[in-house]
Amino acid sequence: VALGKNNVADSMVVFNAPDMVTVQVRGSRLLLDNEADKAIKAYIDLKDVSLGQHKLAVSADFIKGEVVNILPKEVNVLVDTIVEKTMPVESTVVDNNDEDITIDNNGVTPDKVTVKGASTLLNKIEKVVAPVNIRGQRENFQAECILEALDREGNRIHDVQITPAKAVVDAVIVRKLVSVDVPIRVTVTGELAEGLHISQVYTLPEKVRITAPPSVAKELKEIATKPIDITSLVASTAVNAELAFPENVSGQKRNVRVHFVIER
């Protein structure tokens, strides 16, 4: 049968109590019909129970006979108080199939909500978010979102009441860019005079900081110089070289110094 909770104050909430318990009863066959279970009431009594962990006895009444046994006889419960607080709302992106776009963090209505629940749960809440699905979206749009309370690790906290439960997000699409350092590769054309060879080539700086969409940046292993004609080089020297940036990639530097060590 269902386990009831008696004398629960309006400001109180009870955790960990089982939904159902087993009650064995005895009575006259005439009274023990198919509706007998409706005459059984099982409950725990919260009168004068303080906050915290408690082991409470399970009681049962049977108006058509006698209660023989109750399983379990005791239950461990956590008694807490109901509290509420006001928290800001921020948008968060979910189900995004394009790593190069996101939405900005503005335009949420309402921007504050009331969160109500057990104090132990409210203490775990790090933020309230409006999850925005942007799969397939390429233009600004508006979305109505069911709000969620999250802990510090981003896990959803259930059993709390958020009022209002929904928010409208004016989703402004933002193109994401990341900056990373990548090595520079020297490219050359032409040939040195007979008897000469390049024993070493290096650039200063050795790397360049580039800015690009995430999908481009993660595939970009190096940045090449535009071809340097070495035909006229007869001794070790340094020359200026322009970097050849791919489409959608920009660099902190456009030129580098390339050093050639030439030997006979």
> Model confidence over 161-177: pLDDT tens digits?
999 999 999 999 999 99
At 37 the pLDDT is 73
Q: Which residues pair with 156 in a beta bridge?
A: 150
Task: Tell me if the pTM is above 0.75.
Answer: no
Q: 173 to each of 123, 197, 216, how far by Cα in Å?
A: 33, 53, 19
| Distance of alpha carbon 149 from alpha carbon 172, whole angstroms | 23
Nearest to 210 by CA among 239, 184, 192, 240: 184
With bands split at pLDDT 50, 70 and 90, how would you rate the model's confidence at 259?
very high
> Model confidence over 106-158: pLDDT tens digits?
689 999 999 999 999 999 999 999 999 998 888 999 999 999 999 999 999 99
Is pLDDT at 68 greater than 90 in this prediction? yes
The DSSP-derived string for the chain is: -BEEEES--TTEEEES--SB-EEEEE--TTT-STTGGGGEEEEEE-TTPPSEEEEEE-EEEETTSEEEEEESSEEEEEEEEEEEEEEEEEEEEES-S-TTEEE-S--EESSEEEEEEEHHHHTT--EEEEEEE-TT--S-EEEEEE-EEE-TTSPBP-S-EEESSEEEEEE-EEE--EEEEEEEE--EES-PPTT-EEEEEEEESSEEEEEE-HHHHTT---EEEPPEE-TT--S-EEEEEEEEPPTT-EES-SEEEEEEEEE-
